[in-house]
Homo-oligomer: A and B are copies of this chain.
Amino acid sequence: MDRASSSPTPRQPKVSLADVARLAGVSTQTVSRVANDSPAVRPETRERVLDAMRRSGYSPSFAGRSLKLNRYQAVGLAMSNVVSTGNVKRLGGIMEAAAQRGYAITLVQATDDAPEQIEEIERRMAALPVDAMIYNLNRRSLVDGFLAFVPQPRLRCVAFSSIAHPHLACIDADQAHCARSLTELLLARGHRSIRMVTGPEDSIAACQREQAWRETMVERGLDPSEPVRGDWSATSGYEAGSVIADDPSTTAVLVANDDMAMGVIEALRDHGRHVPHDVSVVGADDSLKWSVAKLELTSYAFDEREIGRLAFETAVGDAQGPALMLVPGTVVERSSVRDIS
């Protein structure tokens, strides 16, 4: 409890319903009715009350209303890492949906990793003015931690997670669809020797993308060669690209994200292999804001906004959706893939 240490921050004396009522010469209930657009008020009375509100500078008390209604018109959002691109777009989607419904979003920082902190967060959240929670748990351990520490959450909970959970509605991007679609695109363009540059081992997204690529290849009777592992960064992509450039049989590379794809392309070029003429490259996430040397990277875009919106609707909606919702995106075809005969 650091409550004691925080500054008091007193607010200005508020104008209450009673003040307005006195000013307008009516009862508080009538003022309440006007404030809530109840039709059971004579236009004349309503006008008098509205005028009193304006003159006194009345604004309703959130606390009073919430206490009475036991409802906050707000959704809590626990995020461990706001700063990644996908997260931010989701946040945008959540805010948009919230604004439409007249809800506010209450952010609380989930300090990374430590699974036992989930309990702390849940406890803090329970004392917060929110009707539901959205958890952005970017580590597998956090999802497990939630299960262990919050056997029965008090609020409705939604999590961005591709792993189902008994007490959480889970929503996430459909990673398998992403990798499968891109692999199929390359296959349709005649490529057979498709290598993959995957992400770090502890990334769920990377694993799922890798597995979907592997499955798609096997389904077509093709032998998926060993993927090259990167760490999502352009630099690691450059290293991966250098490895791949040495293998002349490879005609296409599926890279697990755009940043690495950038590095792969640069490495291939530095090794004398031109993209897309000699090697086709596809990325994923569609996160590039500019092109390198006029090459436009074919990628796969998730509608992160929509995923955020969906999470919000699940959190406040009446309908209980499926426990796990995987949202597919779409392939964005550009100029980094070439047909081969």
Contacts and interface: CB of A to CB of B under 8 A. Distances in A.
B290 A6 contact: no
Given A36-B3, A70-B10, A83-B89, A290 B263 contact: yes
Contacts of A1: 36-37
Nearest to A269: B293
Contacts of A222: none
Contacts of A233: 290
B290 A235 contact: yes
A71 B106 contact: no
Interface in A37-73: 37, 57, 59-67, 70-73
Nearest to A152: B57
Interface stretch (A92-100, A186-194, A199-207): A92-100
Given A59-B126, A127-B62, A95 B109 contact: yes
Interface in A113-132: 123, 126-129, 131-132
A143 interface: no
A237 to B, nearest CB: 9
A318 B66 CA distance: 28
A148 interface: no
Contacts of A66: 62-63, 66, 129
A266 B290 CA distance: 11
Contact of A109 (B2, B96, B234, B292): B96
Interface in A148-173: 154-155
A82 B95 contact: yes
Contact of A154 (B59, B79, B89): B59
A310 interface: no
A316 B67 contact: no
B102 A109 contact: no
B71 A82 contact: no
Nearest to A263: B290
Contacts of A72: 62-63, 129
A317 interface: yes
B60 A127 contact: yes
A8 interface: yes
B101 A6 contact: yes
B289 A259 contact: yes
A154 B105 contact: no
B99 A111 contact: yes
A91 interface: yes
A341 interface: no
- What 9 A-B pairs have minimum CB-CB distances, sorted nearest first? A234-B290, A63-B66, A59-B126, A63-B67, A105-B107, A99-B109, A95-B109, A2-B102, A62-B129
Given A62-B128, A83-B89, A234-B291, 14 more contacts: A4-B37, A5-B101, A7-B318, A11-B155, A12-B154, A62-B72, A63-B66, A64-B67, A82-B91, A82-B92, A95-B107, A99-B109, A104-B106, A129-B129
14 contacts: A3-B73, A6-B73, A7-B316, A9-B132, A9-B316, A11-B155, A14-B70, A63-B70, A72-B129, A82-B92, A82-B95, A106-B107, A129-B129, A234-B290
